[in-house]
Chain A
Amino acid sequence: QQQVKQSPQSLIVQKGGISIINCAYENTAFDYFPWYQQFPGKGPALLIAIRPDVSEKKEGRFTISFNKSAKQFSLHIMDSQPGDSATYFCAASKGTDKLIFGTGTRLQVFP
């Protein structure tokens, strides 16, 4: 019940395209859903996050869509750029509890 399932494992997108990464959770007590971006050899960087009282949040080219009834949320990267090539992790938590991470998606954006 603590799992967060993430797909796809890897994603190849052409420059200017839309990258979509999906996550699903089971624990309905989760109330915080962040996305992290990680470059090789670096720590995860908080990209964008959402709470379950909204269905969508947009920051620049990054959008989280949240479907509470389906217990799913997704990250959309519009106008994908080569600099977006990284590994993306979704996560979920309840209150101040630990973050439960998905298994990650390696995104490659080709020029």
Chain B
Amino acid sequence: NAGVMQNPRHLVRRRGQEARLRCSPMKGHSHVYWYRQLPEEGLKFMVYLQKENIIDESGMPKERFSAEFPKEGPSILRIQQVVRGDSAAYFCASSPQTGRTEAFFGQGTRLTVV
């Protein structure tokens, strides 16, 4: 059973470009969570999604950030018009359909904005 898959592992974007981060949850998991980790800091919640629904987006910046988890395919975290402050590691976690918060994390996408 493959773990949570995130790609790309590393992403470099120039200021003003768009960044698209993908997350495929573990098989059988229908809950996806995105977290952001700044260097030498803890993980900050961004958004919680189930298939085709955003459940909690209280951690998402109001502008430039969006997330989706379509019926088919991976969850996508999109950052438009990136700025240097968006440079961070973005982690996706998934939980089983039973809704237990036993969340398993992917290896992350390290975004660098130059």
A residues apposed to B, CB below 8 Å: 32, 34, 36, 42-46, 49, 89, 93, 95-104
Q: Is the interface of B mostly helix, strand, loop or mixed?
A: strand
Cross-chain contact A45 with B56 (CB below 8 angstroms): no
Chain B proximity of A2: nearest CB distance (Å): 10
Asked if A98 meets B59 with Cβ closer than 8 Å, knowing A44-B43, A46-B102, the reply is yes
Cross-chain contact B95 with A96 (CB below 8 angstroms): yes
Closest chain B residue, CB of each to CB of A96: B99
Selected contact of B33 from candidates A32, A99, A102, CB within 8 Å? A99
Asked if A99 meets B45 with Cβ closer than 8 Å, knowing A32-B101, A45-B105, A46-B104, the reply is yes
Asked if A97 meets B42 with Cβ closer than 8 Å, knowing A43-B105, A45-B105, A49-B102, the reply is no
Asked if A42 meets B107 with Cβ closer than 8 Å, knowing A96-B95, A102-B42, the reply is yes
Closest chain A residue, CB of each to CB of B33: A98
Selected contact of A98 from candidates B42, B45, B91, B107, CB within 8 Å? B45
Cross-chain contact A96 with B42 (CB below 8 angstroms): no
> Using Cβ atoms and an 8 Å threshold, which residues of chain B touch A98?
33, 45, 48, 56, 59
Chain A proximity of B23: nearest CB distance (Å): 11
**CB < 8 Å A-B pair total:** 61
- A36 CA / B101 CA spacing, docked (Å): 13
Chain B proximity of A1: nearest CB distance (Å): 14
Chain B proximity of A86: nearest CB distance (Å): 14
Asked if A96 meets B31 with Cβ closer than 8 Å, knowing A44-B43, A101-B43, A104-B42, the reply is yes
- A34 CA / B41 CA spacing, docked (Å): 18
Chain B proximity of A55: nearest CB distance (Å): 20
Closest chain B residue, CB of each to CB of A98: B45
- A46 CA / B94 CA spacing, docked (Å): 12
Chain B proximity of A39: nearest CB distance (Å): 11
